Amino acid sequence: MNKIKILFLASDPSDSTRLRLGQEVRDIREKLQLSKQRDGFSLESRESVRPEDLTQAIFDVEPQIIHFSGHGMSTGELCFENSFGKTQPVSPAALANLFELVANHVRCVILSACYSQIQAKAIAEHVSFVIGMNTAIGDKAAITFAVGFYKALGAGRSIEDAYKFACVEIQLQGIPEHSTPVFYGETSEIVSQKRQSIPLSFNSEDDLRSEKGVDYSQLRDVLKLGKWQEADDLTLDIMLKIARCKKQGYMELEHIQKLPRIDLRTIDALWVKYSKGRFGFSVQKKIYLECCGKTDRMGMKYKKDCWEKFGNAIGWRVSKDWIWHSEANFSISAPQGHLPIIFPKFTDSFRHSFVSSYFSGYYNASSDTFYTSPYCLPLLSRADF
């Protein structure tokens, strides 16, 4: 069973009112250890966090949940510590840009800090579930909320349910701040207490959400059975359907750029899970960045030598020639990142040449550059993986 990893980040600058952050993380750990799902979670904490500590902690832990506890400013900044232990504000834009880069594995962010709603709203553009505070919140209310949230999560409840239980926990304690925490879901809108619960739990078998009402159970089933070619074809069919390009059988750049983030993540997660990490868009993106000597999304640009190294690494380029779709290796023994290819369904060579030339022209590349998979680079250039 893969554990859900929680990263607790504490920052309590010496020039601010001191908080009981140690008690908060101890209480969270205790509730998780006592929960019926205790074997499904791991909790790691970092104290006196500075801005430069953020990325290192995320790289080290690779969490699905990030919980920040500390101070916030009425202008929207979160307060981290500088090298002298004093306050160093971090803007909503800076944190939003960070979470855009790690959105492929971070599913939920809790900002237990005063006035953190501004930050939460910005981060929710990239992360599925975010909780912030719409005004100042007292230490007791913040700790009570955190304990209630993880107690419910440890009982197998969904993230939204855990948020609601945590708000009720504040009420039960007679603390008049139960309406201070606010919840943001996929639509980046505040979820009211009466809204129907989002049917997501970390403990569900698969997350098959779709912004366009697509049923992903068929894709999941063929991937489970290891029918890789069928899954590759089905992946293209789904994308064409979402983009409303089923009739013409191929997409142009604007269609790829508008594919819903939720759907792309669902497709990628299924490929990665059932191939045990061998296939998927996020796998391909990691390999391409390695070929470029980059570690972040900003390195995801077309470079001839990087693209050729990438093609060689994943088996799309053999003896300096790009393979045809029919030459692909649709087996689990294929090189890592070989699939999906999602090659357009053409009925004639003219359309194949047209689409390949279209993308090659856009990236100012030679005509055969996107011969194997015209859609790969524009897909991976998005921030979704």
- pLDDT at 341 exceeding the cut of 80: yes
Of residues 153 and 190, which shows the higher confidence score?
Answer: 153
| Lowest mean pLDDT across 66-70, 80-84, 279-283, 343-347 | 343-347
What's the pLDDT tens digit per position in 290-321? 998 876 555 577 889 999 999 999 999 999 89
- Smallest CA-to-CA distance from 267 within 207, 225, 314, 310 is with 207
pLDDT, mean over the chain: 86
Domain boundaries, the chain: 4-184, 217-380
What's the whole-model pTM score? 0.54
Of residues 346 and 378, which shows the higher confidence score?
Answer: 378
159 neighbors 134 (Cβ within 8 angstroms): no
69 neighbors 10 (Cβ within 8 angstroms): yes
| Lowest mean pLDDT across 29-38, 146-155, 181-190, 356-365 | 181-190
- pLDDT at 58 exceeding the cut of 70: yes
Distance of CA 208 to the CA centre of its chain: 14
The 8-class DSSP code of residue 202 comes to: T
Of residues 115 and 348, which shows the higher confidence score?
Answer: 115
Of residues 349 and 330, which shows the higher confidence score?
Answer: 330
Q: What pLDDT does residue 55 have?
A: 93
| Lowest mean pLDDT across 29-38, 58-67, 206-215 | 206-215
Q: What is the mean pLDDT of residues 145-153?
A: 94
Residue 338: partners with Cβ closer than 8 Å, 6 or more residues away: 278, 279, 314, 315, 316, 328, 329
53 neighbors 7 (Cβ within 8 angstroms): no
Residue % of the chain over a pLDDT of 70: 90
> Residue 193 — pLDDT band, cuts 50, 70, 90?
very low
- pLDDT at 188 exceeding the cut of 70: no
Q: What pLDDT does residue 78 have?
A: 95
- Smallest CA-to-CA distance from 138 within 113, 171, 161 is with 113
Q: What pLDDT does residue 196 have?
A: 33
CB atoms within 10 A of CB 341: 23
Q: What pLDDT does residue 189 have?
A: 36
Q: What pLDDT does residue 299 have?
A: 52
What's the pLDDT tens digit per position in 77-111? 999 999 999 999 999 999 999 998 888 789 899 99
Of residues 199 and 322, which shows the higher confidence score?
Answer: 322
Give me the architecture of the 4-184 domain, per CATH: 3-Layer(aba) Sandwich (3.40)
Q: What pLDDT does residue 212 have?
A: 84
Q: What pLDDT does residue 205 have?
A: 59
Q: What pLDDT does residue 307 have?
A: 92
> Residue 18 — pLDDT band, cuts 50, 70, 90?
confident
- pLDDT at 339 exceeding the cut of 50: yes
The enclosing H or E element of 110 equals strand 108-112
Q: What is the mean pLDDT of residues 205-220?
A: 84
